[in-house]
Structures are given as C-alpha cells and as structure tokens.
Chains A and B, each alone.
Chain A
Amino acid sequence: MSSEAGAIKLFFREAIARAVREEMAADARVIVLGQDVGAFGGAYKEFHGLYDQFGASRVRDTPVAEAAMVGLGVGAAAAGYRPIVSITYMDFLMLGLDPLVNYAAKARFKTGGQVTAPVVVKTTAGAKGQGVAHSQCLEAWLMGVAGLVVVAPSNAADAYGLMKSALRHDGPVVFVDHKRLFPTAGEVPLAQTFTPIGQAVIRRPGEHVTIATHGYMVRVAGEAADRLAKAGVSCEIVDLRTLAPLDVATVAGSVARTRALVTLEEGQLACGVGAEVAFRVQEQVGAVRIARVGALPAPVSSNPVLEAAAIPDAARVMDAVRRVLDA
C-alpha cells in the first residue's frame, strides 16, 4: 500500500489503538476498562497490543456489567484519572446511562467546577447482521444531554484524531464508531494530530446540494455522490464528526451556497440528528429545500434482506437528492 508523505495507511481499528496507546504512554492516568479489552484486544481488535504494553492494571477486563463499568470509569475520572470505557455495542450503553447522564454530564456544573469527569465512553453503533438489539444508532439520544460531548468519526484519520482529543477533553465524551468502519483503511498522519471537537469538515466539495451526515454514512453519501456526478449532479458532503456540540456553522455555510440540504443518518429520523441539523441550519440561512434520510421506523433485523430494507443506502440518498432538487 502506498501512502502520502507524512502519513501511514491504517485500518480504522489500528487508528483507535494507536491513539489510545499514545495517550496511555503520555499520561499514566489514562486507563482502559471494558469487556474483552485485555489480552483479547477488544471485540474489533481496537485495543490490540495495549494489554501487552501497559499491563492488566491499566487495561482492565470487566464482567458484563455496563452500569458498574461506566460508573467505575466516571468515578475514577472524577477522582483524577482519564478512563476509556468500552461498551461493545451501543445498544448496551443504555444499561450504563445513569452514571454517564446523571453523574458525569453534570459533575462539573453541580459542583461549581470542583469536580470534572473526563471519561471517554467508546461504543460501536450500526447494522452488520447482528439483529434488533445489536444494530442501533442511538447517538441522537445523547445530543440532548447538556454536558456530554458526542463524536462519531467516519475514517481512520478522525478515529485517531478524535480519540486523541476525547482523551484530552476535561469532561465526558461518547465516542461512537461503527461496525462497518473497522475493516476500512485510511491515511493517518505520522505526526501526532488532534481532530478538534466541535468541527465538521467538508469531505467533498459540490454545488447543487449539501449532504450532512456522520460515521459510516459518510461513505454511503460518497457512493451516492459518485453516481450522481455521472448524471451532472454535484453534491457537497459535510462530515459532522462531532454531534454535540454540533458545528452548525459549517453546514449552514455549505447550505447557504447550495440552498438544498439532505441529512443522512443510519438511526431513526424521529428527533434524529437530521431533524436537529435541518432546523438549526434553517435558523441561520432561512428556508431551504430539505430531505431527511434515515432508517425505517422499525427494528433492524439480522435477516440480510430486512436489514438492507431498514437502513439507508446510496440509492435512497440519490432519491432524496433528486427529490430536493426537483422541488
């Protein structure tokens, strides 16, 4: 594999492991808690090598007990450590929401700044054949919790850069990755870099329509844009990267030029990322043509036919783009 100068090609999972490794080496207060994160190296090998390098005291396998896992991570964070807690699937994060939402997200506020809880909860969203309780994208739920930062990288470079930033942030961060991203590879800078929290990026410049999306759906948007380009339709893709706080300015800047917005997410549309993005963009740029693309209002089956039916694909994004452009 050839790489750009000053960059190295890494799998998404390797990019996460590198970020955590660098931060653990730089700061003894960074520790890892989670199911199968130790010698096993994580469900997606995203913690590979950390146990060997840093030992069982800093890379800790836990029982299946999400409430206590998150609670211990939050408590250790409030006591001065910088834990990363791995929740294998986002569907299980709800078992650990109490310490995250009721304690970590409020610690700084309720103590008048005496206590902060710099914990990173890393969790994996998205459908990949594992059924109704292992496929959900629930990140929109978290966007309404004051005090929480929510990031969702779409490629290896941002998986690395956002994990680095998350581990340096002085409050709780939920790091949402995606099952289908782990086998993908991308260029990651050789030098230590930090993807800023709260900054979206224009992934593909275009003229006719803005597609605002995040995570794995950035790749789906890219596929749709490639195909639409052959028909003379030019799509601008904004990768949100951080969902809370949302970088409305970058999306609004794009929409101010294209005057057409398609939001794309794998999760549910009701009270979803797209609803929030679309409303806030229009608060800045006035009424524009809008379409939202998301999952069907139904559970996501492990049945491959039903899974594909439930979640967005390039064809649905293309339909939505045509719909707004024809409007």
Chain B
Amino acid sequence: MDRLAALKAMLLIRRFEVALDARPDHGFQLYSSGEEAVAVGVCAALEPGDQLLCSGRSIGPALARGIDPRLVMAELLGKAAGPSGGKGGRGHLAKPDQGFFGAHAVVAGNISIAAGAALAAQLEAKGGLVVCIFGDGACGAGALHETLNIAALWRLPLLLVCDNNGLSVSTPREAALAPAKLSDLAAPFGVTAATVDGMDVEAVHAQATEFAARARSGGGPAFLECLSQRFFSHSTATRETRSAETMRRVLDRCPIRLYADRLRLNGQLGDDDLTRIEREVDDLVAGAMAFADASPYPDPAEALRDVV
C-alpha cells in the first residue's frame, strides 16, 4: 500500500464530506467520516477488475475506490453530470465500469447482490473478486446468514466487510446483536474471519489483502469485521444520541490523525508532504464542488427514462 496515497485518500473523504455538509442544499446524506480507514484499507487491496459494493454509507467507499470526486459530488447533489445522471443520488452511487458496482441503501440489501456478482466472477474465471462493505446494522438480517451459507458452499470469491461503527441509528451494537464479535457470525459456516481495528488503515489493508488473495485463488469467501466509529450522527436527518463527552472521546480517535502521526514518527511523512497532500485534497474538493455546481439538474422527463 502506498502510505501517502492512503493518507490522502482518507483526507479526501473527510474534507469532501465537510464541504458537502457545509452546503445548505446537501439534502439527506450518510457520512463516512471516522470510518475512512475501513474504506481506504479495503480498497487498497483491490485490483482494477474487482467490484466493490457497499451500503448507503457510500461516500467513503466510492472515493476510496477511486471514483472521480467531481462525479461523486454531482451525483450526491442530484446533478445530471453524476454517473447515474443524478437519479441514484445518496445511497445509490454506482460506477461499475470502474469497479464500483454500487451502493444500495437497503440495510443488508447489497450482500446477496454481491454474492451474485461473485458468482458471475467465479463463472468468468478471471480471478475477479467482489467486496461488500456493510454496517453492523446488517448483521442481524437473514440476508447475511443466507448469503454466508451459499457463499461458503460455492466457495465464492467474496469478501464481506463489516464496518462496525457500533451504532445502528441509535441502537448500540451490544443491544442488537448477541455474538461477542461480529466476525463470529461467519464461524458456523466455516468462513474464515477476523476482527481488526478499523481506525488503523494498515491493519485493515493487511487483513483485507490476505483475505482477497485467498478468495482469488479459490479459497472461498471471508468475513472481515472492522471496528470503527462514526463522527457524525446516522444521517443528516438524524439527531445525535451520543453525549457531548462521548463525542469528545470519539472525535479524539481520528483515523487520519492517528495515521499521520504514525507516519511522521516513522519518518515516512514530512511537513512538506502533509502540506502538499492537504493542498491537493482541497483542490480536488473545490474542483468537485465547482463541477457539481456547473451541472444542471436532470430534465423532469428523466423520471420516466430507464424504468423498464
């Protein structure tokens, strides 16, 4: 993994979201801030021909997969220049020709879809891998367990990544899910699994790389639980239920700052590097916003296009 590229990718997600959130017309959004290391660590383990699917919390995964921030911003703001013409919008970002099969905003709804894409990859036999990122909220759903069973039986090239941010809207993970670790959910099916610190991009990347290599070589699916924290409330329309003190603790453990500090300590990041990365990221975000602003909204006639 290119360390500085990973740092930049995480910073892009954060500043992209800050810029989006500052807009009065951002509409309903689900942010990935705090969970950048999960998306970036996983995506750094992917090849161009692989496909990534994710939940509605999709800004991090889309940007980490390398989708042009201009396209992402346009789509999120409902503009015609988005890859889906602004019709998918928040929760349904997609750019499959660049390895981002897409987001799907039904909790657990993309897991069996990902397995189907993995079946296609297996039949194609070109070594393609399919990855699906979902939240802890999806782990109580039958779709996950049905899919784990079939994926194990058929040894599908599928990596299931649970970005466990500890909260399903307001419900703490402990109150919703019985297992001690969510990676334990894979064990009954004989699916290899691990739990890693989702705030540590290198830990995520290392484990994702190992599982990806295994799945690519016919070793079957894997389940990777990444323990993360979200910095915003569930959505822009959801009130924050955590106390101010809890939020201080949460925000104090920033995956981007943690990684920058570590790189600096190891002599892998100089002040000039950081300044340059910040400038590049700010330029990308400004460019994304300008691109989205320059694009019109879709024609109302689009409401009836591409339906059947």
Known: A78-B113, A98-B143, A103-B109. A72 touches B306 (CB 8 A): no
Query: B111 and A76: CB pair below 8 A?
Result: no
B168 at the interface (CB under 8 A from A): no
CA distance A302 to B115 in the complex (A): 37
CA distance A102 to B120 in the complex (A): 20
Known: A78-B101, A102-B109, A109-B306. A68 touches B117 (CB 8 A): no
CA distance A102 to B88 in the complex (A): 13
B89 CB to nearest A CB, Å: 8
Query: B150 and A68: CB pair below 8 A?
Result: yes
Most chain B CB inside 10 Å of its own CB: which residue of A74, A98, A111: A111
Query: A71 and B147: CB pair below 8 A?
Result: yes
CA distance A62 to B97 in the complex (A): 30
How many residue pairs link A and B with beta carbons under 8 A? The number is 132
B214 CB to nearest A CB, Å: 21
Query: A113 and B306: CB pair below 8 A?
Result: yes
Query: B306 and A112: CB pair below 8 A?
Result: yes
Query: A65 and B146: CB pair below 8 A?
Result: yes
Which chain B residue lies CB-closest to A171? Answer: B308
Query: B87 and A109: CB pair below 8 A?
Result: yes
**Could you say which residues of chain A place their CB within 8 Å of the CB of B96?**
111, 114-115
**Could you say which residues of chain B place their CB within 8 Å of the CB of A267?**
none
Partner-A contacts on B (CB < 8 A): 51, 82-88, 92, 94-97, 101-102, 104, 106, 109-121, 123, 142-143, 146-147, 149-150, 153-154, 305-308
CA distance A73 to B113 in the complex (A): 8
A106 CB to nearest B CB, Å: 8
Q: Mark A112-124, 1 if CB is under 8 A from B, else 0.
A: 1111000000000
Query: B307 and A147: CB pair below 8 A?
Result: yes
Query: A74 and B116: CB pair below 8 A?
Result: yes
**Could you say which residues of chain A place their CB within 8 Å of the CB of B83?**
111-112, 114
Which chain B residue lies CB-closest to A85? Answer: B116
B190 CB to nearest A CB, Å: 15
Interface size range of chain A in the complex: 35 or more
CA distance A63 to B189 in the complex (A): 13
* A–B complex contacts, Cβ < 8 Å, 23 sampled: A63-B149, A67-B142, A68-B143, A71-B112, A71-B113, A71-B115, A71-B116, A72-B112, A72-B150, A75-B112, A75-B114, A76-B116, A76-B117, A79-B101, A79-B119, A81-B119, A98-B109, A103-B109, A109-B307, A111-B87, A112-B84, A112-B88, A146-B308
**Could you say which residues of chain B place their CB within 8 Å of the CB of A184?**
none
When the two chains form the complex, which single residue of A80, A114, A149 contacts B94, counting CB atoms closer than 8 Å? A114
Known: A67-B143, A115-B102. A73 touches B116 (CB 8 A): yes
Query: B146 and A149: CB pair below 8 A?
Result: no
Q: Mark A94-135, 1 if CB is under 8 A from B, else 0.
A: 000011001100001111111100000000000000000000
B134 CB to nearest A CB, Å: 13
Which chain B residue lies CB-closest to A198? Answer: B308
Query: A114 and B97: CB pair below 8 A?
Result: yes
Query: A111 and B102: CB pair below 8 A?
Result: yes
Q: From residue 237 to 265 of chain A, which have CB atoms closer than 8 A to chain B? A: 245
Q: From residue 163 to 199 of chain A, which have CB atoms closer than 8 A to chain B? A: 171
Which chain A residue lies CB-closest to B132? Answer: A75
A218 at the interface (CB under 8 A from B): no
A303 at the interface (CB under 8 A from B): no
Query: B119 and A75: CB pair below 8 A?
Result: yes
Query: B307 and A108: CB pair below 8 A?
Result: yes
Query: A79 and B115: CB pair below 8 A?
Result: no
Known: A111-B92, A112-B84, A113-B306. A98 touches B120 (CB 8 A): no
**Could you say which residues of chain A place their CB within 8 Å of the CB of B115?**
68, 71-72, 75
A19 at the interface (CB under 8 A from B): no
A290 at the interface (CB under 8 A from B): no
Known: A75-B120, A76-B123, A110-B88. 11 other contacts (CB 8 A): A62-B150, A68-B150, A71-B111, A75-B113, A76-B120, A79-B117, A80-B120, A99-B113, A109-B307, A113-B305, A147-B307
CA distance A110 to B307 in the complex (A): 9
Query: A67 and B117: CB pair below 8 A?
Result: no
B80 CB to nearest A CB, Å: 9
B308 CB to nearest A CB, Å: 6
CA distance A91 to B285 in the complex (A): 50
A31 at the interface (CB under 8 A from B): yes
Which chain B residue lies CB-closest to A61? Answer: B153
When the two chains form the complex, which single residue of B104, B121, B149, B307 contacts A79, counting CB atoms closer than 8 Å? B121
CA distance A1 to B198 in the complex (A): 69
**Could you say which residues of chain A place their CB within 8 Å of the CB of B109?**
98-99, 102-103
**Could you say which residues of chain A place their CB within 8 Å of the CB of B308?**
108, 146-147, 149, 171, 245
Most chain A CB inside 10 Å of its own CB: which residue of B97, B119, B143, B154: B119
Query: B113 and A31: CB pair below 8 A?
Result: no
Most chain B CB inside 10 Å of its own CB: which residue of A60, A81, A103: A103
B150 CB to nearest A CB, Å: 5
**Could you say which residues of chain B place their CB within 8 Å of the CB of A65?**
146, 149-150
B158 CB to nearest A CB, Å: 10
Query: A108 and B306: CB pair below 8 A?
Result: yes
**Could you say which residues of chain A place their CB within 8 Å of the CB of B87?**
109-112
A53 at the interface (CB under 8 A from B): no
